[in-house]
């Protein structure tokens, strides 16, 4: 069996270098690979293309990479709550490709399935379709979107075992499973790392065949982007 367990985030991202394309799981601040992002900030790699639903907030997660000018291009669904992301977009400092959220997920899935492209009605007749092929199926136009080509996928799970099998928790699952399938090399950080056989096979969301490196993370903040409570 291939040895997949590494000591920490620094070792996991050791061969990520300037100019690479990274998928980063999570939705805002929910289910993001905090440890790996911090390791990337510390390492200082730059000119990165980052594929992520959004960049969270200014002072946490991918927002730290944006502040550190490590990201050349963001491929995202929306700007979210990140003022620095918005500023860099409007000033032209950052190249941004905004993708409908379902299309973003499906382009990840297509990469995992080995499909070169998908056809979707989302974006037809809008700026999203500029320069892209459109085909008509059964009287309806569909936009061709290419599968992503990422050097690394970096995901975060609740539990994992030494073979790379992963279980996500609740809404923290979000983009992590489809991205875990799609990277040439997939890195998983988990809150609880256990031995093979300790996970219930019926509960596994990502089979270990997709995961190349895994480690137990630490010091998770699990910050909430927008806290909403009801009045008493």
What is d(CA 225, CA 79) in angstroms, rounded to the nearest whole number?
Answer: 13
Residue 67 CA to its chain's centroid (Å): 18
Domain boundaries, the chain: 9-119+149-216
Q: Does 3.90.1170.50 match the CATH number of domain 9-119+149-216?
A: no
Query: pLDDT tens, position by position, for the chain (232 residues)?
Result: 689 999 999 999 999 999 999 999 999 899 999 999 999 999 999 999 999 999 989 999 999 999 999 999 999 998 888 899 999 999 999 999 999 999 999 999 999 999 999 999 999 999 999 999 999 999 999 999 999 999 999 999 999 999 999 999 999 999 999 999 999 999 999 999 999 999 999 999 999 999 999 999 999 988 887 788 888 7
In DSSP notation, 190-220 reads EEEEE-TTSS-GGG-SB-GGG-SEEEE----
If phi > 0 it is left, if psi is from -120 to 50 it is alpha, else beta; for residue 47 that is: left
**Three-class SS of residue 88?**
helix
DSSP 140-186: EEEEEEEPP--SEEEEEEEEEETT--EE--GGG-TTHHHHHHH-SEE
């Amino acid at each position: 069996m291939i040895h997949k367990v590494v000591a920490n985030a620094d070792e996991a991202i050791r061969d990520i270098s300037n100019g690479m394309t990274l998928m980063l799981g999570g939705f805002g601040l929910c289910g993001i690979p905090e440890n790996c992002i911090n390791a990337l900030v510390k390492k200082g790699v730059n000119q990165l293309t980052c594929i992520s639903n959004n960049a969270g907030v200014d002072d946490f997660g991918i927002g730290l990479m944006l502040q550190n000018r490590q990201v050349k291009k963001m491929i995202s669904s929306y700007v979210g709550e990140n003022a620095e992301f918005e500023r860099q977009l409007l000033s032209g400092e950052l190249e941004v490709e905004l993708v409908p959220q379902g299309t973003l997920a499906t382009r990840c899935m297509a990469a995992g399935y080995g499909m070169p492209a998908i056809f979707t009605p989302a974006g037809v007749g809008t700026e999203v379709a500029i320069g892209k092929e459109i085909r008509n199926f059964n009287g309806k136009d569909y936009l061709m979107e290419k599968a992503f080509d990422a050097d690394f996928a970096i995901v975060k799970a609740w539990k994992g075992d030494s073979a790379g099998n992963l279980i996500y928790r609740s809404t923290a699952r979000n983009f992590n499973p489809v991205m875990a399938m799609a990277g040439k090399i997939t890195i998983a950080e988990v809150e609880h790392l256990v031995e093979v056989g300790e996970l219930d096979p019926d509960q596994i969301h990502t089979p270990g065949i997709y995961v190349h490196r895994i480690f137990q993370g630490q010091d998770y903040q699990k910050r909430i982007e927008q806290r909403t409570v009801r009045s008493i």
